[in-house]
Amino acid sequence: MSNFLEVKDLSVRFNTEDGVVQAVDKLSFSLEKGKTLGIVGESGSGKSVTSLAIMGLHKGSRAEVTGQILVEGQDVNAMSEAQVRKLRGKSMAMIFQDALAALHPYYTVGNQIAEAYQVHNKVSKNEAKKRAIEMLDRVGIPEPQKRVNDYPHQFSGGMRQRAMIAMALSCNPSLLIADEPTTALDVTVQAQILELLRDLQKEFGTAIILITHDLGVVAETADDILLMYAGKAIEYGTVRDVLQKPQHPYGWGLLTSIPRLTGDPDKKLLAIPGAPPSLISVPSGCAFNPRCTYVSQVGAACSSSIPDLLPVSAGAHHLVRCHLDVKTREDIFKNQVAPNL
């Protein structure tokens, strides 16, 4: 079996007082071992909710999760809480954005890593501590024998993120979900952490899901990109396809609106008008249509029917959810988007 993770028609709904929030809507993707998938989107696009669903962390909450999440062929969504707990940490692990909030302030860093290791391995306390030191050393914490007894507040932001990675990887999981792992970090430290993740992936063959809003970070780390908007996948393909030949107007907007270190800095950034929609009242038809510049090229379909996620050309791995026909899309990209990239 080549795909380690297969997500099929994953939907997550929350019943709230204000109405039903469809946070994730029929999402499908797959991931091989040793590869990285970048899930990109703005706040409220459903990227974090997706990752929590894969980890089975919606169980026992008000969320309604439907669809299949196959981890090595086993459906996480159909499992009981106890069964998922056996997978968590061993087969799949997660690292979070805010390492200070994710680490327990009352226990030493070493204790927390050792605990995670002992849950899945029958080892003595001493052996578990040895493993914690080994892992801290592996993620580049200086003097691990000493720092293993430190509390999280004694670590700097970058070191806490490293400690969390050490904890997540202590049982050699096959899948690592990293939810905005570098957003809270400075650029020089971010570069260190991304490099560390790449190295560890090479060494252990881990499959990584990287959740981020930063297109620069995915460009550097991911193999595939899944672009999300208002809970739906709107573009899915390799990094090169999505970043260099983007097909969706939202992707065009994102790429032309980000400030870059190259190109003419005095040229106006081409911002996307408006703001992302509220998930309680998602616009009818294509959720992006109120902000889309190219609606006039299609007509009424944009606001009346939801486009399907279809291959850009027959048999292509690059999928896009847009009513624009292939020819028009290519013309727009060539004449209006590419010159601004």
Partner 1 sequence: MSTILKVEGLTKHFPGNKNGLFGKRDVVQAVDGVSFEIAAGEAVGLVGESGCGKSTTGRLITRLLEPTAGKIEFEGQDITHLSNAQMRPIRSDLQMIFQDPYASLNPRHTVGTIVGTPFKIAGKEPAGGTKKRVQELLEIVGLNPEHYNRYPHEFSGGQRQRIGIARALALRPKLIVADEPVSALDVSIQAQVINLMKDLQKEFGLAFVFIAHDLAVVRHFAQRVAVMYLGNLVEIADRDTLYTNPKHPYTKALLSAVPEADPDAVGARERIRLTGDVPNPINPPSGCRFRTRCWKAQEVCATTPPQLLQVGKSNVACHFPEN
Residue 261, Cβ density class (10 Å: 0-12 exposed, 13-18 middle, ≥19 buried): exposed
Closer residue to partner 1, CB minimum distance, 150 or 214: 214
Q: What's the distance, CA 236 to chain centroid?
A: 13
164 is an interface residue for partner 1 by CB under 8 A: no
Which listed range, 83-91, 173-181, 207-215, 323-331, lies at the site for partner 1 (CB under 8 A)?
A: 207-215
Cβ contact 91:72 at 8 Å: yes
Any residues with CB less than 8 A from the CB of 185 and at least 6 apart, and which? 157, 158, 161, 193
Going by the DSSP 8-state scheme, the letter that residue 88 receives in this structure is B
Crossing angle, helix 109-120 and helix 125-138, to 10 degrees?
Answer: 110
27 is an interface residue for partner 1 by CB under 8 A: no
- Min dist CB 208 to partner 1, Å, is 16
18 is an interface residue for partner 1 by CB under 8 A: no
Residue 282, Cβ density class (10 Å: 0-12 exposed, 13-18 middle, ≥19 buried): middle
137 is an interface residue for partner 1 by CB under 8 A: no
Which listed range, 56-64, 73-81, 170-178, 259-267, lies at the site for partner 1 (CB under 8 A)?
A: 259-267
Cβ contact 268:277 at 8 Å: no
Structure tokens at 201: 């992936």
Which listed range, 1-9, 54-62, 125-133, 187-195, lies at the site for partner 1 (CB under 8 A)?
A: 187-195
Which listed range, 88-96, 169-177, 189-197, 321-329, lies at the site for partner 1 (CB under 8 A)?
A: 189-197
220 is an interface residue for partner 1 by CB under 8 A: yes
213 is an interface residue for partner 1 by CB under 8 A: yes
- Min dist CB 260 to partner 1, Å, is 6
260 is an interface residue for partner 1 by CB under 8 A: yes
**Tokens 């020819």 belong to residue:** 327
Q: Which of 208, 197, 132, 202 is nearest to 171 (CA)?
A: 132
244 is an interface residue for partner 1 by CB under 8 A: yes
- Min dist CB 271 to partner 1, Å, is 4
* Beta strands 232-238; 74-75: pairing state: unpaired
Which residues contact partner 1 (rule: CB under 8 A)?
Answer: 42-43, 142, 156-159, 186-192, 194-195, 213-220, 239-240, 243-244, 253-255, 257-262, 265, 268-273, 275-276
